[in-house]
Chains A and B, each alone.
Chain A
Amino acid sequence: MARFLAIANRKGGVGKSTIAVMLAHAAAAWGKKRVLVLDLDTQCNASLMLVGGEGWDKARRAGLTIADYFFDRFEKVAEDESHYTIQNVGDVAHPKNAAGRLALLPGSLMLEDVQGELYLRQAKRGVDPDTVADEVRNRMKRLMKHFGMDYDYVILDCPPGLSFAALAAIDLADQVVVPFRPDFVSQFALDRVALLIERVENADQLEDIRFADRRYACLPNYVTNKGRERMLIDQIALDHPLLEARVPLLDSVARAFDWDDTKKTMAEKYGDALPHLRKLHDEIFSGATWLAKTG
């Protein structure tokens, strides 16, 4: 069964999709793993990074997106779900027959509408709203879990906010990476998402959970190395486990996600971001790692 890694933060604009795609490329290319990205964000940025606009549009028109998958399979017995995924995505070259590969279940602009539709459908049965919400979330969780049989890692690119899909993904995840921008507002966002991930209600209860026992770790992203950022990161480290890796604000990261179907090496694609990605990859995936720590 795959390890499920969610990339989540209730706050938007922190680089969730970028980190999800970077980790997916790294695990497939360096770790030789079978990796699936589930794009749960209605912005569909991870999909656009991995298959481009035309590839994503083709999947959408064929009814092969995450929203279609949830809608089609919500009440059906599980069947083969593999035809919803696109294989060998991304623009990092893999030798033929190489062990690692990268697949995508594309995102959908309609995912929020579909979640509403599924909720209303369940609610018509006359059950109380909380129970209906639990049912929708749990069914989505089970549907995502089905993909675990065919991959080593399933990376869940979560949307900002608290949709059913986001909650289901966080609930399903073995581990959660929480990217954040080192600014004042992010502190509040981290505090809140931590409660959600650890299933506690307040800061006192969170404090009772040792860092080593927490399911999540925070990742400073878009780091410019200014004094104020270092100060905030030190403050955040009092309350939340931090990865040692940092992802700096680099043009090379931004450029890496201009869609281009030319296959490249990791060094060509990520340029001077490569050592940072290597460190992040090693910290998360290699050896007796953080991701292997629980479960």
Chain B
Amino acid sequence: MTASEDRDLVARAVSGEDTAAFGELVRRHQSHVRNFLRKLAGDHALADDLAQDCFLHAWDKLQSFSGRGSFIGWLLKVAYTTFLQSKRKSKRYAEILESAGHVADQESRHQVLPDDEVTDLDKFLAVLTEEERAIMVMSYACGLSHREIGDATDMPVGTVKSVIFRGKEKIRNSFDIKDHQHG
């Protein structure tokens, strides 16, 4: 899976509206995007729906991929934007419900995993803010460089570094991470 192959596929998809080339891009990157969104949303079904929306947005905006950075970096930017838009929409929906007199049960809106399904990673992610979570996942799970994360989140590289530093500190302060094993 090389960057130049991705760029070729993007060029094919854009120039001739080649959906097969786009399908290949989806096949290559769906795992990263879905895992990224699962970690952000904490709900697998919602994350997969968001991943579908993300790829449809990516198809619409494919011409805007300049080829300067990696395609996965660009794709995660689209995924993060899709996630934030969905959060905004659900927040607005909750506000409408509340103003209409419905007392929405917080627990029912956020799928809570049973205790035995809560992993160390879930515990770590829980102490982070949404922004920190997104940046830490991009860095440690997706292997994006600080520059790529900066591009994806519209943040200067310095800010990305400080968010990662802060995230690590929070995890360090909340848990003794040396005692944790993978899982």
Whether chain B is bound by chain A comes out as no
